[in-house]
Amino acid sequence: MGELEQDALQLSDEDRARLAVSLLCSLEEKGGDPAEVEKLWVAEAKRRAKEFDDGSAIAIPASDVLARLKSKYQEK
């Protein structure tokens, strides 16, 4: 998976976003329509932004999250 992941990270932001939507759709039981998946993600982003703005979300610095993920998933 390491080489595949590295290749994907070399894609442009737009192409990585398209790939992410495509991969998410492939996980849906019925295949999922990319437009519908995008609509759902926009709604989720708005919900999260509202929670952040009203203080009900717990914000964790990106550097902390990335360090945890790297520690958990780095190849050994």
Model confidence at 76, in pLDDT bands (50, 70, 90)?
low
Q: What is the mean pLDDT of the chain?
A: 84
Q: How far is CA 60 from CA 10, 12, 16, 41, in A?
A: 26, 26, 24, 20
Comparing 11-15, 32-36, 47-51, 63-67, which segment has the lowest mean pLDDT? 32-36
Number of neighbouring beta carbons within 10 Å of residue 36: 11
C-alpha–C-alpha distance, residues 54 and 47, integer Å: 11
Inform me whether the pLDDT recorded for 1 exceeds 70. Answer: no
Q: Which domain holds residue 43?
A: 2-73
Model confidence at 46, in pLDDT bands (50, 70, 90)?
very high
Inform me whether the pLDDT recorded for 31 exceeds 80. Answer: no
C-alpha–C-alpha distance, residues 20 and 37, integer Å: 10
Number of structural domains found in the chain: 1
Specify the pTM: 0.46
